[in-house]
Amino acid sequence: MRLEDITVTLRPRQPWESVDLGCAMVRRDYGRILGLWLCTVLPLWALVGVLLRASPEWIPLVVWWLKPLYDRVPLFFLSRAAFGVRPTFLETLKQWPRLWIANFLPALLWRRLSFIRSFALPAQMLEGLRGAAVNQRIKTLAMDGGGSGVSMSLAFSNLELVAWIGLMLGTYGLLPDAAEPDWQGLFQALDFESTIPNAFLWWGAACHMVIVTLIEPFYVGAGFALYLNCRTRIEGWDVELAFRRLATRLTSAAAALVIAVIALGGVHAADQIVARTDSAADAHKVLKELEANLQKTKKPDIKPAVKADPAKAVQEVLEAPEFKIHKIQSKEWVSDKKETKKDESNLPGLNFLGVIGELLFWLLIAGVVTFLVIYIVKNRRMFIMRGVSKAPVRAPKVIMGMNITRESLPDDIVAAARAAWAAGDFKEALSLLYRGSLSWLVNRRRVPIADSDTEEDCLVQVLQAGEKREADYFRQLTGAWVQVAYAVMPVSDAEMQRLCEQWPFVEQGGAA
């Protein structure tokens, strides 16, 4: 590619102006880039979907991790379109395997989490460097544009995340009932496997793929434009291009001058030959005079070019539009009075301000420490690992206003709960199961539950007790009880039937 063929104006730009230029380059050929993207990326996504069909929750992560491969085909097209050569669809597809194989492992391993991935990709692909030379080249370019590359990556990452969430929220109403998660059960039991169906996960992965398809080409174009701007600033591409264009114009002017001189000399010579061809004896004499005249006409034309004023020529070159200097004006206040150097430590008021600042600092530290102490004291249960106490404890009789003594419960708790459920008293049915569970755990398992504990505190104590079967059942029962008692939303008959059948609190003989 020749620098003279570039289709964008080369000049030092501000970083975000370069990003806007890259997005404009992508918009100019967005249809072709999108077509190449779909032909090269969709087959890979289809393969990922087939391999992870049993675990669709991993698809967005894999799609995100393989991004360095997707960016190479759009960059190949943009790098050639920037120099006036738009490769055809088939030409680009022929380069596809080579582009993906080159630097495959570094791009997906130790360079994957680079924050200047889009900015560094042109140096890796277009300059033909390998190994340590690539790292050194990227470090050199990053000294000028690395900070802009990091800011651009963060901006596009946030844009992609917001667009993904927005697309999911905008299309959530189109999902069938079978694909909608059980949000209430998810927040209560934190059981992702049973509350989030696979259809919802596939829909989220599809939305992520759509957003990546729409935004990632612009990320590639913005990084490429930052790369061009960085090389323009470091290597002076704009100055080099101006010199080349000026040399082309001067060469064309010199060629035209030589042709004009030759043409004028030829016309003069033809007139002499026509005037003096009356006799063959004068032909030799006419030719000699023609040669002398040509020598005389060439000398005056050459001398002015040799004796041209160098200072004038340099001034004409500097006045060309390509050498216009772009300046940034800034205002700075300068006092009219001459300030005298004084010892700031002896100025009045500074010591007083220092004392106030130090006092405020220590007050802030004291406030933070006080807040932490009060928070730890109020939430000390969170910082104490407690198991089942081996020492005898006094079992409470009432928890959250519910009597859990054995005398207040029926002999067959499960049968009584079934009867209450059949009679339509759903809260009483679940209350019997919940009170019976607490009675068993407090009196038999000696779980240290206090009379002031809430449902969540009770669940934490049961989980720490270590009995997995009883803890799993109590977690499900707590979720159902909270749903009926506080949310006033009845559970299903199937869930109630399951809670009765899985009742684990029985004597050795089998009685409840």
DSSP codes joined into one string, 42-83 = HHHHHHHHHHTTT-GGGHHHHHHHTHHHHTHHHHHHHHHHTT
Decide which of 49 and 319 is more confident.
49
Highest-pLDDT range among 78-92, 289-303, 425-439? 425-439
What is the share, in percent, of the chain residues with pLDDT greater than 90? 10
Kind plus residue range of the DSSP H or E element containing 24: helix 15-28
- pLDDT confidence band for 206 (50 / 70 / 90): very high
Residue-range domain boundaries for the chain? 3-235, 241-305, 398-501
Q: Cα–Cα distances in Å, from 472 out to 99, 100, 314, 478? A: 52, 49, 88, 10
Least confident of 223-227, 323-327, 341-345: 341-345
Q: Specify the pLDDT at position 512.
A: 44
Residue 161 pLDDT exceeds 80: yes
For the beta carbon of residue 56, count every other beta carbon within 10 angstroms: 18
DSSP code per residue over 176-216: -GGGS--HHHHHHH--HHHHS-HHHHHHHHHHHHHHHHHHH
Residue 61's Cβ-side half-sphere holds a number of Cα atoms within 13 Å equal to 5
The mean pLDDT of 488-505, rounded to a whole number, is 84
The mean pLDDT of 500-504, rounded to a whole number, is 87
The mean pLDDT of 148-169, rounded to a whole number, is 89
What is the share, in percent, of the chain residues with pLDDT greater than 70? 71
Q: Specify the pLDDT at position 195.
A: 67
Residue 186 pLDDT exceeds 50: yes
Q: Closest by alpha carbon to 429, among 368, 366, 494, 480?
A: 480
Angle at 24 between CA 18 and CA 29, to 5 degrees: 135
Kind plus residue range of the DSSP H or E element containing 353: helix 350-378
State the first-to-last Cα distance of the chain, in angstroms, to the nearest integer: 86
Residues in the chain, how many? 512
Residue 19 pLDDT exceeds 50: yes
Highest-pLDDT range among 136-140, 157-161, 367-371? 157-161
Q: Cα–Cα distances in Å, from 133 out to 125, 130, 136, 309, 491? A: 13, 6, 5, 46, 66
Q: Specify the pLDDT at position 218.
A: 93
